[in-house]
Amino acid sequence: MSKRIEIPVPVRGELERIVGARHISTDPAMLSAHAWNTGVGKVPGAEKFSGIWPVAVVLPGSTEEVAAVVKCCLRHKLHYKAHSTGYGSMSNACSPETVVIDLRRMNGLEIDARNRMAIIGPYAIAGALQAEALKHGLTCHIVGAGPAHSPLASATSLLGVGVTSQGTSMNARNLLSWEWVTPQGDIVRGGTAGSGCGWFAGEGPGPGVRGMIRGFCGAAGGLGVFTRIGYKLYPVPVTGPLEPTGRLPQLGLRIPDNAGFLHAVWPDWDSHRAATFELLDENLCFAMLRMPPDHIGWTVTGSNADYVDQVKRGTLPEVAQPSNDKNWTLMTLSRSPAEHAWRMGVVNEIVQRTGGRILELADEHAEVLFRNLFTSQFVPRVLRPSGGITTSFGVLDSFHFLPRAMEAGQECLAGGSLPGGKLVEGGREEHWSWPHEGRYLWTENIINFDPASKPARIAAARALFDHFAISWKDPVGLMALGLGPVMELQGESIGAPQRYIRQVKNRLDPGNASRSNEYVLPVVPKLVATALPMLKPVILSRPVLELMSRVVGTKGM
Amino acid sequence: MHSPQTLEDRRDFLARCTRCSQCKFIAMPKSQRHASACPSIDYGQFHAYSGGGQLIMAYGLLDGNVPHSAEMAGAVASCTMCGNCDVSCKINFAETVEPLDSLYALRAKLVSDGHSPAPHREMMEALHRSGNSRGHPRTERAHWADGLAFDGTGKAETLLHIGSGLAYEPAGWPALRAVVATLHRVGIAMTHLGTEEGSSGGLAFDLGYVDEARTLAQELIEQAQQTGAGTLVTFSAAALSAFRSIHPRFGLSFGSIRVLHITEYLWELVQQGRLSLAPLPDLQGRPVAYHDSCKLGRLSEPRGTQDSGLDNQMSGILVSRTPSALRFGNGGCYEAPRALLRAMGVELVELERHHASSYCCGACGGVKETVPEAAALAARNRLAEVQDSTASILVSACTGCTSHLAEHAGSAVQMQDLLGLLAQALRPAPALAG
Amino acid sequence: MGIAFIENADRLHTPAGITCSVDGAELRSFASDSDTPRGYVPRAILKPRSTDEIVSLIRWANDTGTGVVPVSSTGRRRRGDTVPARDNVVIADLSGMNRLCHADDRDKIAILEAGVDFGTVDDLLRPYGLRAMRPLSPRAGKSVVASFLEREPLINANDHWDVADPFGGTLLVLGNGRCAPTGGAAIEGTLAEQLARGHRQMMPIGPTNLDLLRVLQGAQGTLGLMAWAALYCERIPTMEQGWFASADALEPVIDLARELLHRRLGNALFIVDRVQLALLLARDAGAFASLSVALPAWTLFVGLSAGRQAPEEKMAWQQADLQAGAEQHGTVLAASLAGHAATALGQALRVAEPTSFRDRAMGGHRELFFLQQLDRAAGFVPLVRDGLAKAGLGHLPLGVYIQPMAQGVYGHIEFTLPYDPHKADDTQRSAAAWQVAADRCADAGAFFSRPYGAWSDLAYRHDDGIQSMMALTKSILDPAGVMNPNRLPYS
What is the tens place of the pLDDT at every residue in B20-70? 999 999 999 999 999 999 999 999 999 999 999 999 999 999 999 999 999
C211/A196 Cβ within 8 A? no
**Closest residue, chain B, to A27 (C-alpha):** B71
Please compute the mean of the pLDDT values over residues A376-388 and round it to a whole number.
90
ipTM greater than 0.95: yes
Residue B11: is its pLDDT beyond 90?
A: yes
The mean pLDDT of chain A is 95
CA triple B158-B161-B162, angle to 5 deg: 135
A30/B75 Cβ within 8 A? yes
**C-alpha to C-alpha distance for A133 and A130, rounded to whole angstroms:** 5
Q: How many CB atoms lie within 10 A of CB C257?
A: 28
What is the tens place of the pLDDT at every residue in B276-295? 999 999 898 999 999 999 99
Name which of B333, B376, B327 is nearest B80 in CA terms: B376
What's residue A480's pLDDT? Answer: 81
Do chain A and chain B touch with ≥3 beta carbon pairs under 8 Å? yes
What is the tens place of the pLDDT at every residue in A237-273? 999 999 999 999 999 999 999 999 999 999 999 999 9
What is the tens place of the pLDDT at every residue in A28-39? 999 999 999 987
The mean pLDDT of chain B is 95
What's residue A40's pLDDT? Answer: 80
What's residue C4's pLDDT? Answer: 40
Please compute the mean of the pLDDT values over residues B365-379 and round it to a whole number.
98
pLDDT classification of A349: cutoffs 50, 70, 90: very high
Residue of A537 and C152 predicted with greater confidence:
C152
What's residue C8's pLDDT? Answer: 45
* A339 contacts on C by Cβ (under 8 Å): 317, 321
**C-alpha to C-alpha distance for B379 and B409, rounded to whole angstroms:** 8
CA–CA min distance A212, chain B (Å): 29
E-strand stretches of A350-399: 357-358, 388-390, 393-397
What is the tens place of the pLDDT at every residue in A415-430? 999 999 999 999 999 9
For chain A, say whether B376 makes contact (Cβ under 8 Å): no
Residue A174: is its pLDDT beyond 70?
A: yes
Test the B interface: residue of A48, A50, A310, A422 with most B CBs within 10 Å: A48
* A154 contacts on C by Cβ (under 8 Å): none
Residue B364: is its pLDDT beyond 50?
A: yes
What is the tens place of the pLDDT at every residue in A141-164? 999 999 999 999 999 999 999 999
Percent of chain A with pLDDT over 90: 87
A89/B19 Cβ within 8 A? yes
pLDDT classification of B1: cutoffs 50, 70, 90: low
User: In DSSP terms, which residues pair with B310 in a beta bridge?
Assistant: B320
What is the tens place of the pLDDT at every residue in A85-97? 999 888 899 999 9
**C-alpha to C-alpha distance for B379 and B373, rounded to whole angstroms:** 10
State the sign of the Cα–Cα–Cα–Cα dihedral B359, B361, B367, B373.
Answer: positive
**Cβ atoms of B332 and B297 closer than 8 Å:** yes
Reading across the β-sheet that carries A24-25, which strands appear in turn?
A: A24-25, A56-58, A98-102, A79-83
Question: Which other chains touch chain B, taking contact as 3+ CB pairs less than 8 Å apart?
Answer: A
Q: Do the bridges between strand A138-139 and strand A234-235 make them parallel or antiparallel, or are there none, so unpaired?
A: antiparallel
**Closest residue, chain A, to B60 (C-alpha):** A32
CA–CA min distance A491, chain C (Å): 9
pLDDT classification of A557: cutoffs 50, 70, 90: confident
Q: What does pLDDT average to in each consecutive run of 10 residues of chain C (491 residues)?
A: 42 83 95 91 96 97 97 95 96 98 97 98 98 97 98 97 98 98 95 95 96 98 98 97 98 98 97 98 95 97 97 98 98 98 97 95 94 97 93 92 98 95 83 91 96 88 85 98 96 74
Nearest to A85 among B17, B21, B326 (CB): B21
Identify whether A249 is preceded by a cis peptide bond (ω within 30 of 0): yes
Nearest to B319 among A305, A423, A450 (CB): A305
**C-alpha to C-alpha distance for C177 and B409, rounded to whole angstroms:** 70
A207/C470 Cβ within 8 A? yes
What's residue C10's pLDDT? Answer: 56
Please compute the mean of the pLDDT values over residues B301-306 and round it to a whole number.
86
Nearest to A281 among C307, C459, C469 (CB): C307
Name which of C356, C411, C400 is nearest C155 in CA terms: C411
**Which stretch of A4-8, B252-256, C274-278 has the lowest confidence by average pLDDT?**
A4-8
B317/A308 Cβ within 8 A? yes
A387/B93 Cβ within 8 A? yes
What is the tens place of the pLDDT at every residue in B201-250? 999 999 999 999 999 999 999 999 999 999 999 999 999 999 999 999 99
**Closest residue, chain A, to C457 (C-alpha):** A205
Residue B99: is its pLDDT beyond 80?
A: yes
- Report all structural domains of chain C as residue ranges with CATH numbers, in order of start: 5-93 (3.30.43.10), 100-235 (3.30.465.10), 239-443 (3.40.462.10)
A192/C447 Cβ within 8 A? yes
**Cβ atoms of B383 and B394 closer than 8 Å:** yes
Please compute the mean of the pLDDT values over residues B299-326 and round it to a whole number.
91
Instruction: Tell me the pTM.
Output: 0.97
Test the A interface: residue of C188, C200, C208 with most A CBs within 10 Å: C208
**Cβ atoms of A114 and A71 closer than 8 Å:** no
What's residue B431's pLDDT? Answer: 65
